[in-house]
Chains A and B, each alone.
Chain A
Amino acid sequence: MNAKIAPGNADPTIQFQNVTYSVNGSVHHRIVSDIRFSVASGQTLVLLGRSGSGKTTLLRLINRLLIPTAGQVIVCERPTTDWDPIRLRRGIGYVIQDAGLFPHFTVAENIALVPSLEKWDAARTSSRVNELLTLVGLDPAEFASRRPHELSGGQRQRVGVARALAADPPILLMDEPFGALDPVTRAELQREFSALARRLAKTIVFVTHDLREALLLASRIILLENGRIVADATPREFPRIDHPEVRAFTASLAPLAGAQV
Chain B
Amino acid sequence: MSPWTFFLEHRAEILEATANHLTLVLIAMAFAIAIGVPLGMLIVHRPALRNFALGLASIFQTIPSLALFGFLIPIPFIGGIGRRTAIVALVLYALLPILRNTYVGLTGIDPAVLEAAEAMGMTQSQILWRVRLPLARAVILAGIRTATIITIGVATIAAAIGAGGLGTFIFRGVAMVNDAVILAGAVPAALLAIAADLLLGLLERRLKIS
Chain A residues within 8 Å of chain B by Cβ, number: 26
Q: Which residues of B contact A63 (CB under 8 A)?
A: 119
Report Cα–Cα, A149/B113, bound state, in Å. 13
Of A87, A97, A104, A163, which is within 8 A of B135 by CB?
A: A104
Report Cα–Cα, A88/B115, bound state, in Å. 15
Query: Does residue A102 face the partner (Cβ distance < 8 Å to B)?
Result: yes
The chain A residue with its CB closest to the CB of B124 is A86
Report Cα–Cα, A216/B102, bound state, in Å. 46
Give, as a whole number of angstroms, the nearest-CB distance from B145 to chain A. 20
Report Cα–Cα, A163/B117, bound state, in Å. 11
Within 8 A of B (CB), among A82-127: 85-90, 92, 94, 96-104, 113-114, 117
Query: Does residue B123 face the partner (Cβ distance < 8 Å to A)?
Result: yes
A-B pair number, CB within 8 angstroms: 62
Interface centre among A87, A88, A102 (most CB of B within 10 A): A102
Pair A89/B121 contact, Cβ less than 8 Å:
yes
Within 8 A of A (CB), among B110-126: 110, 112-113, 115-123, 126
Report Cα–Cα, A98/B115, bound state, in Å. 11
Report Cα–Cα, A104/B121, bound state, in Å. 18
Q: Which residues of A contact B122 (CB under 8 A)?
A: 86, 113, 117
Q: Which residues of B contact A149 (CB under 8 A)?
A: 210
Pair A97/B112 contact, Cβ less than 8 Å:
yes
Query: Does residue B134 face the partner (Cβ distance < 8 Å to A)?
Result: yes
Chain B residues within 8 Å of chain A by Cβ, number: 18
Report Cα–Cα, A114/B210, bound state, in Å. 23
Query: Does residue B67 face the partner (Cβ distance < 8 Å to A)?
Result: no
Query: Does residue B12 face the partner (Cβ distance < 8 Å to A)?
Result: no
Report Cα–Cα, A9/B201, bound state, in Å. 54
Give, as a whole number of angstroms, the nearest-CB distance from B109 to chain A. 9
Task: Known A100-B116, A102-B113, A117-B126; judge A86-B121 contact (CB<8 A).
Answer: yes
CB<8 Å pairs between A and B, sample of 26:
A65-B115, A65-B118, A85-B121, A86-B122, A89-B118, A90-B120, A90-B121, A92-B119, A94-B119, A96-B115, A98-B112, A99-B116, A100-B113, A100-B115, A100-B116, A100-B117, A101-B116, A102-B117, A102-B131, A102-B135, A103-B110, A103-B113, A117-B121, A117-B126, A147-B210, A163-B120
Q: Which 4 A-B pairs have the closest CB atoms?
A: A100-B116, A89-B121, A90-B121, A100-B112
